[in-house]
């Protein structure tokens, strides 16, 4: 699909396993972060967000962890399903109305 | 509630031409941001409009411009198209812009030949 780059890191997991997708962000002043899922031929879809005053936030089957010390963000998907196969992006808000996106990780769920 | 819509979905243009893309945000959202997505560069921020004013701009040449109307609908224009402008152009809307959830449209696939 349009979102897949030539050298996107790929994470392959078995259906039913948990997935962890990692992201390093660059700006220590960023205070808001979003994870997006992009399927082939579609725009990015909002999954979950977290603000810098939190270090963990849970949604339905998803958890985002934020480590501000090392500027690291992770997305955990529980009981991964084939429908979770997509490219996942993290985005950081630099607090000046700009979002910066990571290069993305392709998640491949094997049945 | 209807999502973000973008028109057209696909477009083919020739080098040197200009193009206008349209985005209708989610009802009630006042912020519209535009992004360019390519395999080599990923998602890159173009600009953001809020209440008809451009609040921020990314690192793109002046050939890329935009505007927002009083109903929050937004257009972006690219003049003097180059081959490298071929990309998926995505529009995202949010209530306030910074620090609020952004929702993306399906994108407009622009091919420049």
pLDDT tens readout for residues A5-49: 346 899 999 999 999 999 999 888 888 999 999 998 889 999 999
Using the Cα atoms of residue B21, residue B26, residue B30 and residue B34 in order, give the sign of their dihedral. Answer: negative
Average pLDDT, chain A: 89
Q: Which of A11-20, A77-86, B39-48 has the lowest mean pLDDT?
A: B39-48
Q: What pLDDT shows up at residue A5?
A: 39
Please determine, for residue A87, whether its predicted confidence score (pLDDT) is greater than 70: yes
> How far does the CA of residue B72 sit from the closest CA of chain A (Å)?
17
Whether B45 sits inside 8 A of A95 (CB atoms) is no
Sequence-distant (6+) residues with CB within 8 A of A10 are: A105, A106, A107, A108
Of the candidates B31, B40, B99, which has its C-beta nearest A32's C-beta? B99
Mean pLDDT within B84-105: 89
Please determine, for residue A85, whether its predicted confidence score (pLDDT) is greater than 60: yes
Q: What pLDDT shows up at residue A7?
A: 63
Give the confidence band of A52 by pLDDT, cuts at 50, 70, 90. very high
> How far does the CA of residue B96 sit from the closest CA of chain A (Å)?
9
Number of cross-chain residue pairs from A and B with Cβ atoms under 8 Å apart = 73
Please determine, for residue B40, whether its predicted confidence score (pLDDT) is greater than 70: yes
> How far does the CA of residue B90 sit from the closest CA of chain A (Å)?
7
Q: Which residues of A touch B106 (CB under 8 A)?
A: 41-43
CA A87 from centre of chain: 8
Whether A3 sits inside 8 A of B109 (CB atoms) is no
Q: What is the dihedral of CA A102, B77, B97, A104, to 10 degrees?
A: -10
Give the confidence band of B98 by pLDDT, cuts at 50, 70, 90. low
Closest CA to B63 of B105, B96, B17, B95: B17
Decide if B97 contacts A29 (C-beta within 8 A): no
């Amino acid at each position: 699909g349009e979102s897949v780059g030539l050298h996107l890191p790929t994470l392959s997991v078995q259906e039913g396993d948990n997935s962890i997708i990692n992201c390093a962000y660059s700006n220590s002043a960023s205070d808001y972060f979003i994870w997006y899922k992009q399927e082939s031929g579609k725009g990015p879809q909002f999954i979950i967000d977290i603000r810098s005053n939190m270090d963990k936030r849970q949604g339905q089957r998803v958890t985002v962890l934020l480590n501000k010390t090392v500027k690291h963000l992770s997305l955990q998907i529980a009981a991964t399903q084939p429908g979770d196969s997509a490219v996942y992006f993290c985005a950081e808000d630099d607090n000046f109305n700009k979002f910066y996106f990571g290069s993305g990780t392709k998640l491949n769920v094997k049945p | 509630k209807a999502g973000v819509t973008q028109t057209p979905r696909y477009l083919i243009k020739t080098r040197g031409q200009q193009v206008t893309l349209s985005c209708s945000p989610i009802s009630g959202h006042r912020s519209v941001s535009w992004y360019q997505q390519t395999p080599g560069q990923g998602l890159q921020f173009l600009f953001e409009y809020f209440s008809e004013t451009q609040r921020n701009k990314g690192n793109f040449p002046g050939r890329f411009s935009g505007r927002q109307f009083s109903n929050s609908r937004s257009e972006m224009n690219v003049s003097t198209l180059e081959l490298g402008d071929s990309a998926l152009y995505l529009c995202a809307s949010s209530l306030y812009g910074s620090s609020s959830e952004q929702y993306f449209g399906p994108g407009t696939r622009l091919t420049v030949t």
